[in-house]
């Protein structure tokens, strides 16, 4: 088993749909993080391909200069998803209650997850689903920083160091047969640690863990 039961728990164990029932039209990382993510998408995603933006919101950070054949969105707040102009279609689903995605096998060229992996209580099941819906050679890009809704992040994430979280996401991939060896991108924060602890903005660290379906 990837995580012990106590590592999957959250400080706030109420229904996630209640927590996300009202829209948050904000970005949860700074402009520098967003630019790095958009640049990464520009480098790794191909035009006219099918994209699944998992645990999305009102913005997907996809590059404006690339057209995709279809962008499927998933999230927890319909009002946010409806505002996202890059999505061709979307659905609302609580993956912690039902990890089975209502999507066909081998249907997507890329699966994206931005600053949300920390909320998955059953990442083993979800990463198996990511593998299932990816085409052979398809890419999965999991990006995150050090920010989170602390009460909704799982214990295994909250209690880990930032590098420990990178290793955790790598394990999510490596424990699913059929993924390539994960690639890791780390851009450390430009803000001194003490100022980060005091809540200073700017210079969010950027982490991405990337793997392809063999």
Asked whether the predicted pLDDT for residue 201 surpasses 70, the reply is no
Confidence of residue 113 (pLDDT cuts 50, 70, 90): very high
For 116-130, write each residue's pLDDT tens digit. 999 999 999 999 999
Asked whether the predicted pLDDT for residue 190 surpasses 90, the reply is no
How far is residue 136's CA from residue 86's CA, in Å, rounded to a whole number?
Answer: 24
Asked whether the predicted pLDDT for residue 193 surpasses 90, the reply is no
Pair 115, 29: CB distance under 8 Å: yes
Can you give the pLDDT at residue 3? Answer: 94
The DSSP code sequence of 42-60 is HHH--TT-EEEEET--S--
63: which 2 tokens? 């590059």
Can you give the pLDDT at residue 17? Answer: 84
Confidence of residue 26 (pLDDT cuts 50, 70, 90): low
Q: What is the mean pLDDT of the chain?
A: 93
Query: What percentage of the chain exceeds 90 in pLDDT?
Result: 81
Can you give the pLDDT at residue 47? Answer: 98
Can you give the pLDDT at residue 203? Answer: 79
- Select from 187, 21, 193, 209 the least CA-distant residue to 118: 209
Q: In the predicted model, what is the mean pLDDT of residues 136-146?
A: 97
């Amino acid at each position: 088993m990837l995580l012990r039961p106590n590592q999957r728990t959250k400080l706030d164990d109420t229904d996630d749909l209640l927590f996300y029932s009202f829209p948050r039209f904000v970005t949860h990382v700074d402009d520098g993080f967003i630019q790095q993510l958009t640049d990464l998408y520009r480098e790794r995603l191909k035009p006219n391909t099918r994209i699944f933006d998992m645990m999305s919101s009102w913005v997907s950070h996809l590059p404006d200069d690339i057209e995709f054949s279809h962008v499927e969105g998933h999230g927890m707040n319909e009002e946010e998803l409806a505002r996202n102009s890059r999505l061709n279609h979307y659905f609302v689903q609580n993956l912690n209650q039902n990890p089975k995605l209502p999507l066909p096998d081998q249907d997507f060229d890329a699966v994206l997850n931005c600053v949300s992996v920390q909320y998955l209580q059953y990442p083993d099941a979800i990463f198996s689903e990511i593998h299932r819906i990816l085409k052979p050679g398809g890419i999965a890009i999991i990006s995150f920083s050090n920010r989170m809704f602390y009460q909704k992040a799982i214990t295994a994430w909250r209690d880990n160091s930032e590098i420990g979280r990178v290793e955790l996401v790598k394990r999510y991939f490596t424990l699913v047969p059929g993924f390539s060896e994960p690639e890791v991108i780390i851009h450390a924060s430009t803000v001194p640690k003490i100022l980060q602890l005091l809540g200073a903005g700017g210079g969010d660290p950027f982490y991405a863990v990337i793997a392809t379906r063999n």
